Amino acid sequence: GAVVSQHPSWVICKSGTSVKIECRSLDFQATTMFWYRQFPKQSLMLMATSNEGSKATYEQGVEKDKFLINHASLTLSTLTVTSAHPEDSSFYICSARPQDNEKLFFGSGTQLSVL
Partner 1 sequence: AQSVSQHNHHVILSEAASLELGCNYSYGGTVNLFWYVQYPGQHLQLLLKYFSGDPLVKGIKGFEAEFIKSKFSFNLRKPSVQWSDTAEYFCAVIPKAAGNKLTFGGGTRVLVKP
Binding flag, residue 104, partner 1 (CB under 8 A): yes
Stretch that binds partner 1, among 19-27, 67-75, 79-87, 104-112 (CB under 8 A): 104-112
Instruction: Indicate whether 38 belongs to the interface with partner 1 (CB under 8 A).
Output: yes
Pick one of 19, 24, 25, 36: the residue that binds partner 1 (CB under 8 A). 36
* Smallest separation, CB 106 to partner 1 (Å): 5
Residue 106 binds partner 1 (CB under 8 A): yes
Residues found in the chain: 115
Per-residue binding letters, 65-94, with partner 1 (x by CB under 8 A): -------------------------xx-x-
CA distances from 1 to 22, 27, 34, 59, 114 (A): 20, 9, 19, 29, 34
Contact by Cβ (8 Å): 78, 23:
yes
Q: Give per-residue burial for 19-51: e unless 16+ CB within 10 Å, then b.
A: bebbbbbeebebbbbbbbbeeeeeeeeebbbbb
Footprint of partner 1 on this chain (CB under 8 A)?
Answer: 1, 34, 36, 38, 40-41, 43-44, 46, 49, 90-91, 93, 95, 102-104, 106, 108-109, 111
